[in-house]
């Protein structure tokens, strides 16, 4: 004996059957009820096919969400780098340029410390002002390669991203114990006697890592070094 749905519920279903088709939970309940009515000795090939299609659809939706999230993150990172590059170009003097690094530029890039390292055999006649020394470091030749490779040879990459136990005390000063990741951009200052490096340190270990792409940071490094050349002519 078959049982029919009576009353308002049946009228709603009959007038809008598409509502049932678009409700995944309801459709799954109907398919399960149909399987139970058929018994354990009957294999419903259509039901198996639907299960597989549903699984594939769920995977496709997950992939779709991942692609959208990655695209959004890339766009956000691009905008961030462009804003930081424009902030660099605002400086009118070298002092202003260095002051902005640990000010608006660091804030835009969401890092906790930025330091320009220049290695040269030429010694400055006068000591650097304390305010500049917090951002600008002059070292002996060979320091940059040693810093990038932990003293194990010559670095062959323009951009190095890594997670560290703590920062280098010479580079970060009192901030060093809190630094957990850093991005290092080798700089071409247009002078064979000057080798440069821009170091960005973060207290968050996940800001920089070797698995990350380097294209955007390489672009930022190119803007930075071209801006620096104005002060080293």
Provide CB contacts within 8 A for 31, sequence distance 6+: 47, 50
H-helix or E-strand containing 129?
Answer: none
The rounded distance, in Å, linking the Cα atoms of 2 and 138 is 90
Three-state SS for 17?
Answer: coil
- Sign of the CA dihedral running 42, 45, 50, 56: positive
Q: Which CATH number fits domain 82-231: 3.30.450.40, 3.40.630.30, 3.40.50.300, 3.40.50.1820?
A: 3.30.450.40
Point out which residues pair with 160 in neighbouring strands.
184
Q: Write down the pLDDT at residue 1.
A: 45
Which regions in the chain score pLDDT beneath 50?
1
Q: Write down the pLDDT at residue 230.
A: 82
């Amino acid at each position: 004996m078959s049982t029919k749905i009576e009353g308002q519920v049946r009228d709603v279903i009959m007038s809008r059957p598409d509502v049932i088709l678009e409700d995944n939970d309801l459709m799954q309940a109907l398919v399960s009820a149909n399987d139970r009515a058929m018994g354990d000795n009957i294999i419903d090939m259509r039901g198996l096919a639907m299960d597989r299609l549903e699984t594939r659809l769920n995977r496709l939706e997950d992939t779709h969400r991942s692609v959208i999230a990655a695209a959004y993150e890339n766009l956000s990172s691009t905008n961030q780098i462009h804003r930081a590059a424009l902030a660099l170009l605002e400086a009118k003097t070298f002092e202003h340029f260095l002051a902005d690094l640990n000010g608006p530029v660091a804030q835009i890039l969401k890092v906790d410390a930025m330091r320009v390292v220049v290695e040269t055999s030429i010694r400055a006649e006068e000591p650097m002002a304390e305010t500049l020394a917090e951002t600008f470091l002059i070292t002996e030749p060979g320091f940059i390669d040693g810093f990038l490779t932990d003293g194990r040879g010559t670095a062959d990459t323009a951009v190095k991203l890594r997670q560290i136990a703590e920062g280098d005390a010479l580079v970060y000063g009192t901030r060093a114990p809190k630094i957990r990741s850093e991005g290092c951009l080798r700089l071409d200052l247009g002078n064979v006697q000057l080798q440069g490096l821009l170091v960005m340190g973060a207290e968050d270990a996940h800001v920089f890592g070797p698995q990350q792409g380097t294209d955007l940071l390489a672009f930022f490094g190119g803007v930075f070094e071209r801006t620096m050349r104005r002060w080293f002519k």
